[in-house]
Amino acid sequence: MTQISALLRAGRTFSFEFFPPKNDEAQAVLARTIVELEPLAPSFVSVTYGAGGSTRERTRDLVVQMRHETKIPPMAHLTCVGHVHQEIEDIIAAYVEAGVENVLALAGDLPADGTDSPPSDYIFATDLVEHLRSISDMCIGVAAHPEGHPRSPDMTSDRQYLAAKLQLADFATTQFFFEAEHYVRLVNELADLGCTKPVIPGIMPVTNLSQVQRMAAMSGTEFPTWLHDDLATMKTPEEVRRVGVEAATRLCAELLEAGAPGLHFYTLNRSTATREIYAELGLPVG
């Protein structure tokens, strides 16, 4: 196994994000997606974690499956919400036993159904990172928001908090965004604070306009007028998808030109858009 920090030191990384399937049909879709993406030889894959740890077992099962059945290093998401120290220690012990070496430490979201989340020993992602550092030698990633975290009071404090978090972690992956200038500004502002840890930009190709608009609104990501207008004039879902993938391809090219240490694709458990971007950019494959 290889830690992501070592992969980043060796060169650019290209990685994918999956979410745990909720039923047999979704499991079959994801299994097919993994088969289709594995020939691209991704540097690593990450597996998300539901609000309040609601997909903890499914996340663990998928991460361990990836570890044992593929050659792709998996990164498991962990959240502060709904967890106490002993639970995190038990989760990490199970991952270590399975040979998993990478985790992404997140604050996490409250349950969407409005129910109370279980008690937590953590307030901020930094608290979780500090605990993880004290109990393991895992490579630890954190999240970054190029346009600011939705709960940040202002951009100055957002960047200061992120820089402090990154001092404890090994790298960051960003929330998705649609214009390269947001990423470049983020990296420059972190550098001004003395933080030069790798920040991998997250890419979300628009294959369904309403779905991505909804996700952007939840994450505080601006959906540019020019992109909305381009997509809104398309008459079929196929045309929307084509324009969305073209826009994501241009964004990837701009980010690589700007010196990004890699690209992290939010796949939504599908492979086609990612494979098309890979082909258009001529990215390395296995």
Return per-residue pLDDT of the chain as tens, 286 residues. 589 999 999 999 999 999 988 888 998 999 999 999 999 999 999 999 875 555 778 888 889 989 998 889 999 999 988 789 999 999 999 999 999 999 999 987 765 555 566 678 998 899 999 999 999 999 999 999 999 988 889 999 999 999 999 999 999 999 999 999 999 999 999 999 999 999 999 999 999 888 888 888 888 899 999 999 999 899 999 999 999 999 999 999 999 999 999 999 999 999 999 999 999 999 877 6
- Cβ atoms within 10 Å of 242's Cβ, excluding its own: 15
Q: Looking at residue 91, what is its pLDDT?
A: 93
Domains of the chain: 4-281 (3.20.20.220)
Structure tokens at 199: 């920040």
Q: Looking at residue 1, what is its pLDDT?
A: 57
Q: Looking at residue 150, what is its pLDDT?
A: 85
Dist. CA 223–CA 231, nearest whole Å: 11
Q: Looking at residue 213, what is its pLDDT?
A: 87
Q: Looking at residue 195, what is its pLDDT?
A: 97
Would you put residue 282 in left (φ > 0), alpha (ψ -120 to 50) or beta?
Answer: left
Q: Looking at residue 56, what is its pLDDT?
A: 75
Q: Looking at residue 238, what is its pLDDT?
A: 93
Dist. CA 280–CA 253, nearest whole Å: 10
Looking at the annotation, which residues are catalytic?
17
